[in-house]
Every structure is written in structure tokens, then in C-alpha cells.
Chains A and B, each alone.
Chain A
Amino acid sequence: MAELITFYLVPGLVLGAIYAMSATGLSLVYGVIRFANFAHGDLMGLGAYAALAASQGLGLSPWASIPFAAAATVPAALAADVLFYARLRRSLPAVLLISSFGTALMLRAVIYLAFGPTPQTFGRAIVPPLMLWGLRIQERHVWIIAGAAASAAVLHLILARTRAGRAMRAMADDPDLARITGVPTEAVIRLTWTIAAVLVAIAGVFLGLDTQLTPVMGFNVLLASFAAAILGGIGRPWGAALGGLILGLAEECSSYPVVGGAPLLEPSYKSAVAFAVLIVTLIARPQGLFRGMG
């Protein structure tokens, strides 16, 4: 039992927390700005690497480098919007999607140029695992889960209790009606990008902490992020968070030896779990758990 928790459930929660943060940012952008942002993953990579640079250059811990991650992703997201997406607002969502692929490549190229292709890590010191309730848990895993939970709480407060959050939800419901009530739509769009970029920066640092940093780390979780967001109901941030947790758990538990020592799914196919969840969702319940948009 302890083995199930330590080697499957906890890693599943950690991965799930990362997916949840990434998918939430993705869903926010989809809901308010109305397109599937394929640059989302590479924005995460940018955040992770910016944190790496700060951590290496200034001798900071990865946690203290999170603001630097956001300092990279927020301007990048806003610049992409101002330069490209804003001028395509009236275009088909498909055009915006293709455009975001261009952004993705540009971000990835920047990472390659600045850091090269070799995988890197945050270089953490070897720390003995914590003992919580009789279970061995890595300290960084606790912080990742706590960090994701705190981010979710803050986001909830913003969306539910602030005027700006209400404006975001209103725009997700009906952008024309929002304009009629005087909502400054462009400003709200910029705010949405900012929030999503902060979420993705944190997720990037967490992902780098949990695994390693490579220039394609973000693109590798793009599929999972979309699967989680669609599972939860696209455009519904809470759904995305739940979808992320479910997906993370499913992915880690998929290699659990269920039947006589053989895993349910070969570990080398782990990244196919996200795809399977995506396809099942799209066939069985395309509106997702919380009835997404469209």
C-alpha cells in the first residue's frame, strides 16, 4: 500500500498538479480569447529556462527563481498578442491556431539559442525525503503540490471575487455583451494573458524540478495540457484543474503492476495516456466534465 502511494499516487499528484496548472492557463486563454494556443507549451519551457538562468546566475533556489520565470513568460505572451494575435482577432480560430504554432517555434528557437539542446536540471542538492504520516515523500513534491493548490486558490479568488475576474468570466460567456456593458475587452485580454503566463511559468519551474529541462519540455506536455483542459471542459478553469489531476494520476498509475507483476501499460507508452484520455473524452463526452464551450 505504501508502495502504491509513494511510487504511483504521489508522483501522480505531482504530475497532475503540473498538468492542472498548465491546463488551467490554457483553458483561461481559450475561454476569454477564444483560441487553442499551441504556443502554450513552449511558453512553459521559456519560463523554466528563465528560472534556470536566474537560479544559475544569481545562485537562487528554483523556488526563488519563479518570479524570473514569470518575468520572461508574461512579456513574451503579451508581445505575441500585440504583434500577431490582436491583428487576427476577427479571423477564424483555425488561423489563430496556425499563428500560435509560429509563436511556438519562435519561443523554442530562443531557448535553443540561449541554452542549447542538452538536457539540464536545477541542480538540487540531495535532500533526504520527508516522512509524512509514515510515508516517504520528496520535499520538492510537497512544495509542488502545495504551490499548485495555492495558485488554484489565488486564481479562484481572482475569478470569483474581483471585478477583473468577473469581466474575464463575462467575456468568456459572451464577448459582445461584455462590450455592451463597457468592459474594456483588450485590457481584459491582456490581463488574461498575464495570468495564464504566470501560471505557465510556475508550471514550467515545477516541471523542471520534477523532471529535467529540455527545449522541447513544453511541447511534450502540450498534448497532456489540452487533454486535461478538454477533459475538464474547455474554457472552464476549474475543470481544467480537475482534468489535470486526473490525467496525472492516470499517467503515473498506468504502469502499476495490476495483473501478476505486469503493468497495465508499458512505461514507454506513458505519453500515450494523455492521448487515450483525449480520444475517449472526445468520443464519449466532448463537452468534458464541466460542460465546456463550443
Chain B
Amino acid sequence: MALLEVDRVVGGYGEADILQGASLAAEAGEIVVIVGANGAGKSTLMKAIAGLVRVRSGSIRFAGDEIANAPAEGMIRRGLAYVPQERNVFPSLTVEENLRMGAYVRPDATRAGIARVLALFPDLDARRGVAAGRLSGGQRQMVAIARALMLEPRLILLDEPTAGLSPRFCAVIFERVQAIARAGVGVLMVEQNARPALAIADRGVVLAMGRNRATAPGPALLADPEIGRLFLGG
């Protein structure tokens, strides 16, 4: 049984169900990348797993427990961390306070957590006292991911972590993602930057119109010219 099993989920915001039966699986230490055109439901699927969007039917199992429609507040305790695409840091809190928020539900793990994530993102150390809203896009992204890693989650959900970032930062982010996976954390990532993302993916999932189109190891998807033309912009 996989760490995360999403089985034919139907759901969305309000009355419209963007997701029309999406499925995927992710294991610890694996990088699973979700790609697809705009409006395909990639972010919606992430939000459904994170408990922020209603699931009408289907199931989402994490470490054996059914979590579809479970409250979002409880996810971090289960070991599931979510990094939204936008507004993923607390702008008026300092970098350090943002990280501390990552350990909110287990405050005694804060010190160890900060030490660990700063080892992964050393650039943040010098900026501990800076308000997160004042950071550049790339630095904010690092704070957001670092915050999610504070309590050693078993699975981390990253929604378009490289959106709007310079190519240099993109490379840094992808490299860190691999480091995170090597440490045993499962990574489920939505990416618009499909090519470099699929290159590092153990598994790629192509979503279109709210359901799966293809699932295969990342490089295999990359190599498939049909997939490339239809969903990855040639």
C-alpha cells in the first residue's frame, strides 16, 4: 500500500467539480510530478489532498487513513505538509517566526527543526530576522518549503514551487527537492515548468480536464512525443 493513494477523486470549489476522477499514488522518498494544461485541475487536486477543497466522491488515503474532507488543520500532525502556490508565507512575520509556525503543533521540536531546515537552506540563516514579505520571490519560496519541513513530514505537497522564479532559482529548488526526497520524504509536486520537473520525477502524472491521461516514470513521459505535444507545449 502506497503512502498516499488518491482514488478517482471527484470534487472542486462550490458547485463546479473540476476534478472528474483523478487518481495517483506516491511513496516515501519518491518524487511524483503532476503536469497538465491550465485548468486541468492540478492545484485543485493538491488542495483536495490538503483538505481545503471538498471531495464529493472517491477516496484519499494517507498512511492507511482516509483523509478526504478531513479538516486542513489536522494534516500537519499526520505528517502531511502543504506549500500553496501563492501566499505561502506570513508576510509580517520574520523568517524565523515563519519557521516556528511550521512547528506550531509540536513546539518542542522547533529548535531541532530550525537547525535541520537551515542546513538545507543556508541562505535563510542570515535573514532570520527579516519580515518574510520583504524577501525576494525565490527566498520566500525557500521559507515556504522550509516551514513545511519543520516537523519532518512524511509527504510534502508543493504547488508550483518554481512559479515566477529565475532559472537559477528553479535549478536550486529542483536540486533541493531531490535532496528532500533522498532524505526519505515523499514529494508530490505540481509543476508548470514540466520538462525540468519530469526529468527528476520518479513518476509523472498527466492531468487533463480533471482526470488522468497518463502515468509513467518521468523521463518516459518526457520522451513520449505525443505527451509532449498535447500537454507539455511541444
Chains A and B directly touch (beta carbon < 8 Å): yes
Residues of A whose CB lies within 8 Å of any CB of B are: 163, 166-167, 169-170, 172-174, 176-185
Q: Which of A166, A174, A182 contacts B77 (CB 8 A)?
A: A182
Residues of chain A within 8 A of B97, CB atoms compared: 166, 169
In the complex, whether B76 has a CB less than 8 A from a CB of chain A is yes
A106 to chain B, nearest CB (A): 32
Residues of chain A within 8 A of B72, CB atoms compared: 176, 179-180
Does A166 contact B100, Cβ atoms closer than 8 Å? yes
Q: How far is B76's CA from A282's CA once the two chains are assembled, in angstroms?
A: 41
Q: A180-B75, A180-B76, A182-B73 are in contact. Are A173 and B105 (CB under 8 A)?
A: no
Q: How far is B82's CA from A83's CA once the two chains are assembled, in angstroms?
A: 33
Across the interface, name the chain A residue whose C-beta is closest to B50.
A180
Residues of chain A within 8 A of B76, CB atoms compared: 180-182
Across the interface, name the chain A residue whose C-beta is closest to B81.
A180
In the complex, whether B11 has a CB less than 8 A from a CB of chain A is no
In the complex, whether B147 has a CB less than 8 A from a CB of chain A is yes
Does B104 contact A182, Cβ atoms closer than 8 Å? yes
Does B147 contact A170, Cβ atoms closer than 8 Å? no
Q: How far is B91's CA from A177's CA once the two chains are assembled, in angstroms?
A: 11
Please provide the chain B residues from 79 to 113 with a CB less than 8 Å away from any CB of chain A in the complex.
Answer: 82, 84, 87-93, 97, 100-102, 104-105, 107
Across the interface, name the chain A residue whose C-beta is closest to B90.
A173
Across the interface, name the chain A residue whose C-beta is closest to B106.
A182
B60 to chain A, nearest CB (A): 16
Q: Which of A173, A177, A185 contacts B92 (CB 8 A)?
A: A173
Q: A176-B52, A177-B90, A180-B84 are in contact. Are A170 and B73 (CB under 8 A)?
A: no
Does B87 contact A174, Cβ atoms closer than 8 Å? yes
Q: How far is B93's CA from A39's CA once the two chains are assembled, in angstroms?
A: 30
Does A166 contact B101, Cβ atoms closer than 8 Å? yes
Does A181 contact B101, Cβ atoms closer than 8 Å? yes
Please provide the chain B residues from 35 to 94 with a CB less than 8 Å away from any CB of chain A in the complex.
Answer: 50, 52, 71-77, 82, 84, 87-93
Q: How far is B89's CA from A170's CA once the two chains are assembled, in angstroms?
A: 9
Known: A166-B97, A166-B101. 8 other contacts (CB 8 A): A163-B100, A169-B92, A173-B91, A173-B92, A174-B91, A177-B87, A180-B73, A182-B73
Q: Which of B73, B75, B90, B147 contacts A184 (CB 8 A)?
A: B73
Q: How far is B88's CA from A84's CA once the two chains are assembled, in angstroms?
A: 31
Residues of chain A within 8 A of B88, CB atoms compared: 177
Does B104 contact A174, Cβ atoms closer than 8 Å? no
Q: Which of B89, B91, B107 contacts A163 (CB 8 A)?
A: B107
Q: How far is B52's CA from A282's CA once the two chains are assembled, in angstroms?
A: 35
Across the interface, name the chain A residue whose C-beta is closest to B132.
A173
A20 to chain B, nearest CB (A): 20
B229 to chain A, nearest CB (A): 36
Does A163 contact B104, Cβ atoms closer than 8 Å? yes
Does B93 contact A181, Cβ atoms closer than 8 Å? no
Does A181 contact B102, Cβ atoms closer than 8 Å? yes
Does A177 contact B104, Cβ atoms closer than 8 Å? no
Across the interface, name the chain A residue whose C-beta is closest to B82.
A180
Residues of chain B within 8 A of A169, CB atoms compared: 90, 92-93, 97
Across the interface, name the chain B residue whose C-beta is closest to A160.
B97
Q: How far is B143's CA from A173's CA once the two chains are assembled, in angstroms?
A: 15
Q: How far is B88's CA from A173's CA once the two chains are assembled, in angstroms?
A: 11
Residues of chain A within 8 A of B92, CB atoms compared: 169, 172-173
